[in-house]
Amino acid sequence: MNALAEELNRTLAGSVASRLLSEMGKRMYFPKGIISQSAEAGEKAYRFNATIGMACAGGHPLILDSMRAGLPTLSPEEAVSYASTSGSMPLRKRWRAELDRKNPSLRGKLASLPVVAPGLTAGISFVADLFLDADDEAVMPDLYWPNYKLVVEERKGASGRLFAAFALGADGAVAGLNVAGLEAALRDAGKRSAARGGSAKAVCILNFPNNPTGYTPTLEEADAVVAALVRIAADGTAVLAVVDDAYFGLQYEEGLLAESIFARLADAHPNILAVKVDGPTKEDYVWGFRLGFVTFASAGLGGEALEALVKKLMGVIRSSVSSSSTPAQSLLLKSLDDPRTEAQKARFRAALEERYRLAKRFLAARALPPSLKALPFNSGYFMSFECFGFSAEELRKKLLDERGIGTVSMQDRYLRVAFSGVDADGIDELFSEIAAAARELGTGSEKAVGKA
């Protein structure tokens, strides 16, 4: 059990609440992760706040004109009526049409109508409710969004099975996405599942662009991922591929997978069930709307079977949050229909790409201390450093307390930097300060790097 959960349980020990807690309730805790670190940065980060995954300009979140203008325009039905459990039907149909538009290779493939969930986190959690038992394992890279662990391990009591996100070449340098590691972990999970007396089952979470690294696979790597899952499925293992597309569409280099990998998995093999979890949070710059979508597809399922999965998902939604926000759905539909939206989204995306380019330029031109290594990144909102000779939390606290800069430490080894939240004219200064703080902490770290 997590130490934070144990601490909370000790606080409640002997009380009526302690006697009433479920097994999930006993395991639950609020992690000292991104949210708590962002809250701390909100108080102390007077220069740069590179913590939370939002896109800002001049210290304020970016907002589409269609969203700003639409807020007072809702009818009573659009503003306060109950939404159906599965979400607004016009919005569901429109979002599916958007999936086809943004993922051309998905066109003509059978997939369920997207179901509305109150945010991508809820979507992932609801999928876990449907498919994860306490004995199951969910395979994910060792560089992962911490909420996966909270959902998989603490909510469901299952296990998060990690593999190294990046493969290393003979010289020890990063050689791209570790597809072989993913395949090996999934095969092992399938064997463990079969050994427990059930059928072979393997679950993975695919997140591109990745949070926290900002890495999207190349087209060749994406092909290799699909081929690996097909090989496992062809051997008789039932594969669940949960595709977290939170940062969809934010690739900044040529030759990267621009579509969702869901489009390639949708009809890849009858033993593969692909589940796409996405939403407008980052795509449409509405972080606080708390809207997400869940879509199912498999070569082994017809329309009736897909609708059965939708109804099961509706049962999970009905028994938890009942339905998602009506005004958020109404505003999103209006924004999707607004002729200004796409051009403004293109401008926002260009602003994010400029910040990415400036970060890349800094890292290419300036020598980092040996205690700090930039991990590969080519997309999204973030990049990450690996720390040597000191903990990432030490570096985070030093940046925050001494320099007024907010970042996020993860696994006590990686420092995540959200360049999305820093204006272009602050990028050089931000990375200069990170490098300087690492140098100050890095006494003796050269030896540590040599041993690593």
Indicate the number of domains in the chain: 3
What's the sign of the alpha-carbon dihedral 78, 345, 144, 40? negative
Confidence class of residue 219 from pLDDT cuts 50, 70 and 90?
very high
Total length of the chain: 452
How far is 329 from 273, CA to CA, in rounded Å? 27
- In contact, 352 and 55? CB cutoff 8 Å: yes
How far is 383 from 381, CA to CA, in rounded Å? 7
Dihedral through CA 141, CA 145, CA 150, CA 152, nearest 10? Answer: -40
pLDDT of residue 295: 96
- In contact, 383 and 361? CB cutoff 8 Å: no
Residue 269 has phi, psi (to 5 degrees) of -165, 145
Q: What is the mean pLDDT of residues 79-90?
A: 88
pTM over 0.85: yes
Decide if pLDDT at 417 tops 60: yes
Nearest Cα residue to 380 out of 242, 205, 225, 258: 258
Q: What is the mean pLDDT of residues 225-230?
A: 98
pLDDT of residue 446: 46
Query: Is there a single domain that holds both residue 50 and residue 98?
Result: no
Q: Which of 281, 316, 337 is the last residue of a domain?
A: 337
Query: Is there a single domain that holds both residue 55 and residue 100?
Result: no
Decide if pLDDT at 79 tops 90: no
Q: Is residue 68 in some structural domain?
A: no
Decide if pLDDT at 28 tops 70: no
Decide which of 151 and 41 is more confident: 151
Residue 137 has phi, psi (to 5 degrees) of -120, 140
Query: Is there a single domain that holds both residue 365 and residue 435?
Result: yes
Confidence class of residue 451 from pLDDT cuts 50, 70 and 90?
very low
pLDDT of residue 21: 65
Single-letter residue type at 184: A
Query: Is there a single domain that holds both residue 333 and residue 357?
Result: no
Helical H segments across 81-174, by residue range: 89-102, 120-131, 147-149
pLDDT of residue 188: 96
Q: Is residue 67 in some structural domain?
A: no
Q: Which of 337, 352, 370 is the last residue of a domain?
A: 337
User: Torsion-angle region of residue 39: left (phi > 0), alpha (psi -120 to 50) or beta?
Assistant: alpha
How far is 280 from 247, CA to CA, in rounded Å? 9
Model pLDDT for residues 285-320, shown as the tens digit of each residue? 999 999 999 999 999 888 888 998 999 898 899 889
Decide if pLDDT at 133 tops 90: no
Q: Provide the domain limits for residue 40.
A: 32-62+342-451
Q: Is residue 320 in some structural domain?
A: yes
Q: Is residue 52 in some structural domain?
A: yes
Query: Is there a single domain that holds both residue 352 and residue 421?
Result: yes
Query: Is there a single domain that holds both residue 291 and residue 358?
Result: no
* CA dist 331 → 90, 123, 247, 327, 328 (Å): 12, 20, 20, 6, 5
- In contact, 276 and 294? CB cutoff 8 Å: yes
Mean pLDDT, the chain, rounded, equals 90
Query: Is there a single domain that holds both residue 93 and residue 52?
Result: no
pLDDT of residue 16: 63
Q: Is residue 240 in some structural domain?
A: yes
Query: Is there a single domain that holds both residue 243 and residue 167?
Result: yes
CATH code, domain with 281: 3.40.640.10
Q: Is residue 173 in some structural domain?
A: yes
Q: Is residue 244 in some structural domain?
A: yes
Q: Which of 337, 359, 378 is the last residue of a domain?
A: 337
Q: Is residue 415 in some structural domain?
A: yes
- For the chain, report the end-to-end CA distance as a whole number of angstroms: 30
For residue 75, count other CB atoms closer than 10 A to its CB: 9
Burial class (CB in 10 A: 0-12, 13-18, 19+), 108: exposed
Q: What is the mean pLDDT of residues 264-283?
A: 95
Query: Is there a single domain that holds both residue 217 and residue 283?
Result: yes
Query: Is there a single domain that holds both residue 105 and residue 216?
Result: yes
Query: Is there a single domain that holds both residue 261 and residue 139?
Result: yes
Query: Is there a single domain that holds both residue 258 and residue 389?
Result: no
Decide if pLDDT at 422 tops 70: yes
Decide which of 165 and 57 is more confident: 165
